[in-house]
Amino acid sequence: MQNTITKTYNKINRKNFNYSNDIALLDYIELRLNKIFSDELNSENSIFIKVKQSVIHKMALFLSNNITRACAVGIAGETASGKSTIAFDIINTIEAFAREYSINNVITRINTDDYYYDRSEMVKKAGSFAEFAKHYDLDVPEALELELMKKHIKSLLFGNTVYLPEYDMSGTAIRRDNVKLAVPSKIIISEGLFTLTDKVVDAFDFKIYVDVSAKTQKERFYKRAAERDLGDSADEVYKNASDKAKTHIHPTACKADIILSGEAHRAAYRDFIGKILSLAEEVHFKTPVLC
């Protein structure tokens, strides 16, 4: 896919367009996006593993306001792949841009993990979350109410205010419903293990999968397991997560528009988003140079 984008950009350049001020803004934005993506794909230690050409055209449609509604972004990947960190870096970078230009309600985050079913009574009965985790599978899509998540995303895209659930990840397995206010915004972003599974994937305009090596993923998992006090159950939880990922998570990579490396430097993700925002700044807050 790297070659596809590079060839597309070069082909556009070879047309040697003589831009005039009445050129369709969409063409200009798509040309610029092709260059931004091509440069990153061909850079050393690129954040990208794969990018579909169609995602660049769709991004151009949104940036040019040919599509005027909000857009939804879904990020998936194995446990400890880096998807949450990447999501927060995207959010923080976009929010900083929004503050600079006094843009309200620019981005809303929906955490897939908040849609785990409440299993607090089962934890109490087991005596601890570690014992509960030995007998209850959290690593399958059926452990989450993904239909409700899809409903919330669609509602936000239609301009409605939504109250989201909140799941306690500290080991109680408590889910509190209708507690987090989410207002309609320009971007809805969600990340989690099962964000690109069948029950919710078609809610997203942009689908991202975060890939990571087994070695790095395992190191990150055991660090997190210690923080969550999984104790002796960590090995069993890791094995189950890895096995179930082969069935429920790995196959979702084929649905992704973009596959990111979960091991790139965090600054690289922020820098790339910054380049997209610079284009948005030029298009919407300055006069684009179309010639």
What pLDDT was estimated at residue 260? 97
Which two three-digit tokens encode residue 197?
A: 């599974």
Q: Among 180, 171, 206, 160, which residue's Cα sits nearest to residue 111?
A: 180
Structure tokens at 81: 């792949």
Q: Return the structure tokens found at 202.
A: 């078609």
Residue ranges in the chain modelled with pLDDT below 70: 1-23, 287-291
- What residues are paired with 110 via a beta bridge? 190
Q: How far apart are CA 50 and CA 210, in angstroms?
A: 10
DSSP letters for the chain: -HHHHHHHHHHHHHT-----TTS-HHHHHHHHHHHHHHHHHTSTT-SEEEE-HHHHHHHHHHHTTSS-S-EEEEEEESTTSSHHHHHHHHHHHHHHHHHHTT--S-EEEEEGGGGBPP-HHHHHHHSSHHHHHHHS--SSGGGB-HHHHHHHHHHHHTT--EEEEEE-TTTT--EEEEEEEE---SEEEEEETTTTSTTTGGG-SEEEEEE--HHHHHHHHHHHHHHTT-GGGHHHHHHHHHHHHHHHTGGGGGG-SEEEETTS-HHHHHHHHHHHHHHHHHHHHS-----
Among 186, 185, 144, 184, CA closest to 165: 144
What per-residue confidence (pLDDT) applies to 21? 41
Q: Note the pLDDT of residue 8.
A: 44
Question: What interhelical angle do 266-285 and 53-63 show, nearest 10?
Answer: 40
Contacts for 39-45: CB closer than 8 Å, 24+ residues apart:
40/272, 41/1, 41/2, 41/5, 41/6, 42/2, 42/6, 45/264, 45/265, 45/268
Q: Which two tokens stand for residue 107?
A: 């981005």
Q: How far is the C-alpha of 48 from the C-alpha of 110, rounded, in Å?
A: 23
